[in-house]
Amino acid sequence: MSIKNLLLVAIISLAMSVLTVYFYDRCSRVEVVSVDLSKTLLELKKEFLNGEITKEELESKLKSIQSKIDSLPKRYIVLEDNVVLKNSRKLNLKEVDHAGKGDK
């Protein structure tokens, strides 16, 4: 084998390795996401009991929270924030708008 062929094989091998790691990270890697659901539900309960939101608005916000969690790709594992000790990405449920229609 000539040096030219060895260099070509090394470049192709390096490119394949980089692409394999990239696609594993984007498509296959499982990621833990934490949600502070108990705090969010307590805040909604407080708003409802204080008359700040109606029953329809409460139901709409709860459906919006559920749809936000359900919309995550299957590679995400969603856990309650109390269970996760550290190093997890937090899903921000406060991004749900007041009409309960989803993210801002």
Handedness of CA 55, 56, 60, 66 (dihedral sign): positive
Handedness of CA 88, 81, 66, 54 (dihedral sign): negative
Q: Where are the domains of the chain?
A: 30-95
Q: What DSSP state is assigned to residue 99?
A: T
The pLDDT value given to residue 103: 36
Q: 93 with 100: CB under 8 angstroms?
A: no
Closest CA to 81 of 93, 64, 96: 93
The pLDDT value given to residue 27: 82
The pLDDT value given to residue 104: 32
The pLDDT value given to residue 95: 56
Question: CA 79 to CA 13: how far, in whole Å?
Answer: 38
Mean pLDDT per 10-residue section of the chain, whose length is 104 residues: 91 97 87 85 92 92 90 86 71 54 36
pTM above 0.75, yes or no: no
